[in-house]
Amino acid sequence: MNDLNIRKTGRAGRITFTRPKALNALSHDMALAIHRALDGWRDDPDVALVIIDAEGERAFCAGGDIAAVYRAGLAGNHALGQQFFADEYRMNAAIADYPKPIVAFMQGFVMGGGVGVGGHASHRIVGDTTQIAMPESGIGLIPDVGGTWLLSRAPGRIGEYLALTGARMGAGDAIHAGFADIYLPEDRWPDLISRLETTGDLSLIEGEDAPTAPLRTMDLSPFAQDTVADIIDALEQDGDAQTLKILHANSPLSMAAGLAMVRAARDDARMQDSLAREYRFTSRATQDTDFLEGVRAQIIDKDRKPRWMADASPAHVAALLAPLGHHELTWREPA
């Protein structure tokens, strides 16, 4: 396909995003193709490791290509979005559980669906341009693609802070928060990739000291409060106008659900548990949430003026996260 370059080079299975003009946004077909490639290499003795990278300087993958989901939802077709999210999440789980090393080189924007690809690799390399974020609260969604799993394992209250604000992390913060492993200047990436292709030898991966991580010293104690309203009250007492501006702009329902989901994920035994919970929300997103309005305002019309109308009460959050019965997300477990 034109949006991905999937091939074998030396000892490596290679997946390269090739739509830099679209910031390498992940489509449904791309998610399926990545999963197929991984399945094909799982038992291939010639493939010692998998390398995932991207063309262009601006983005590894800036998110999911959800325009089709939006259009279908407006027309009353909710099945298309449900199938997209289900297939994407199965691909995310395949990356997390892959029996061979996966090395992701993540430059530029790594957001939403990009985190779902690179953020679950076994070796996650970032550089000076890297900007990682889960900004779904701004489009009426929740941190998905296994994002609640990653956020729940960040130190302190970083997970709650990132889920509600969608703040971007540079290389140092990404490593500190558990979204990346290794800092390496990007001009050294091509040589490392070439040597990994030739040898399949992971010991060649040698990072450098990571840049400063501002999140280490930020006072995030307000995000320990029980509810979004309580968090806002605490921020108001601290006089944190910048953070308050972000929270007042985001979907109240998305923030309430995201907060609950990050905290619930702390008790999950594996990422699939978090993905299944995320799917309960996203499978209902085009019908019962602010998602369509958020996509309209931020991506389609780009007026940046969403009119949030969805019920953000605890009862509605609970309903959106309730089990789906025979529609629950299922997995193809490895043999």
List residues with catalytic annotation. Answer: 64, 113, 136, 144
Taking a C-beta distance cutoff of 8 angstroms, is the pair 166, 133 a contact? yes
Residue type, 204: L
- The phi, psi pair for 174, rounded to 5°, reads -60, -40
- Those residues whose C-beta lies under 8 Å from the C-beta of residue 195, and which sit 6 or more positions away, are 201, 204
SS3 7: strand
- The phi, psi pair for 110, rounded to 5°, reads -130, 95
- Those residues whose C-beta lies under 8 Å from the C-beta of residue 156, and which sit 6 or more positions away, are 220
Tell me the β-bridge partners of 183. 126, 208
SS3 140: coil
